[in-house]
Amino acid sequence: MQHGQPGYSATLTKATLILQLLAKPEAGANEALAAKGFDDTCKLVAKLRAYGHYAQTMAKELPSTIFATQKLLRELETAVENGALPTDNGTLNFYMHAQNTLTAAKQALQTQRQPAVHNGRAAVGAAVATVETVQLFFTAKDRTKYCIAQSQDDGGAATLTQLPSCKKQNRPNMQHCSATVTSQPEHAAELAAVVTGAQASRAAIASKGCRITETRGNDGIVETGGISTFNKLLMAAGLLKITNAAPTESAWDNTGITAANSAL
């Protein structure tokens, strides 16, 4: 087989694709995240899920790719021995590059697989808990709006459109799909964006409350029966409080109930 024939090109194409997966890419700089609040929280969830994808890649895909590369190297050796590939510097350089990359991949598999699986398990658990909390606020507003706004009016509540990182195909993104991640994820920037900086226009205000149940009438959990009825169980954003005070804002200090059924 001579240089430039279809079989030679196919071999190099296959080798290039395998080496691209084995090569460890440089860690890119995390972009500064301007928006604060729930949308940033959903960005953090996506990055936490990447730890799970990385663990899957290390545990499943990398070993099979190493095996495929070893097979390819044997095929290259046979092709050179049979005269199917030229014994020039180009072939030799490619062979040495494949060998070096394969060695590095084996070392990475030995040293990084166990911590990757540990980190992936912990990160996915954190992602699930976080996204459940985010969706709790969404469910509280009849699954059309998030229970966060800068006013007590329902019309000011944020929607999925305004929180794009929290949605997928116009629905709250609860999925954890499979993906190939070949470098260690980094979530520091996403975490910092959630806990620091100015609040976005739809972010939470400490003096407002978000009810999971109603705060007036009788819905089976909360029964106010008027402001003179005390000793009730109150729920706001999933937090249970037993109080002998009337269900008013003062019962929750500056973090709780405002007007009945209002947004956060």
* 24, 135: one domain: yes
CA distance 87 to 100: 19
- pLDDT averaged over every residue in the chain: 62
Rounded to an integer, the average pLDDT of 49-69 is 81
Asked if residues 257 and 209 have their Cβ atoms less than 8 Å apart, the reply is yes
Helix 6-22 and helix 89-139: axis angle, to 10°? 50
Q: Are residues 170 and 245 in the same domain?
A: no
- In this predicted structure, what is the pLDDT of residue 5? 42
Instruction: Looking at the structure, tell me whether residues 23 and 107 fall in a common domain.
Output: yes
In a domain, 1, yes or no: no
User: Residue 256 pairs with which residues in a beta bridge?
Assistant: none
Question: What type of residue sits at position 57?
Answer: T
Domain housing 147: 6-195
**pLDDT tens string 2-31:** 444 444 445 445 445 444 544 443 322 222
Give 124-176 pLDDT, tens digit per residue: 777 877 777 777 766 656 666 666 554 445 555 667 777 777 777 777 776 66
Which range among 22-26, 186-190, 246-250 has the greatest average pLDDT? 186-190
179 with 227, same domain: the answer is no
Whether 172 is in a domain gets the answer: yes
* Domain end marker among 139, 168, 195: 195
Q: Does 141 share its domain with 186?
A: yes
* Co-location of 239 and 123 in the same domain: no
* Same domain assignment for residues 233 and 191: no
| Most confidently predicted of 176-180, 202-206, 227-231 | 176-180
Return phi, psi of residue 7, to 5°: -65, -40
Spatial distance between the Cα atoms of 83 and 217, rounded to a whole number of angstroms: 88
Does an H or E element contain 19, and which?
Answer: helix 6-22
Least confident of 73-82, 114-123, 240-249: 240-249
Q: Are residues 249 and 145 in the same domain?
A: no
Return the number of other C-beta atoms located less than 10 Å from residue 116's C-beta. 24
Q: How many domains does the chain have?
A: 2
- If asked whether residues 243 and 123 sit together in one domain, one would say no
Expressed in angstroms, the distance from the first to the final Cα of the chain is 72
Residue 200, domain member (yes or no): no
Domain final residue pick, 137, 167, 195: 195
**What ranges make up the beta strands (E) of 134-248?**
167-168, 171-172, 232-236, 239-243
β pairing state of 232-236 and 239-243: antiparallel
Contact present, 10 and 1 (Cβ < 8 Å): no
Whether residue 98 is contained in a domain is answered as yes
Question: HEC profile for 44-103?
Answer: HHHHHHHHHHHHHHHHHHHHHHHHHHHHHHHHHHHHHHCCCCCCCHHHHHHHHHHHHHHH
Instruction: Say what the alpha-carbon torsion angle 189, 194, 196, 201 is, to the nearest 10 degrees.
Output: 130
Residue 66 shares a structural domain with residue 181: yes
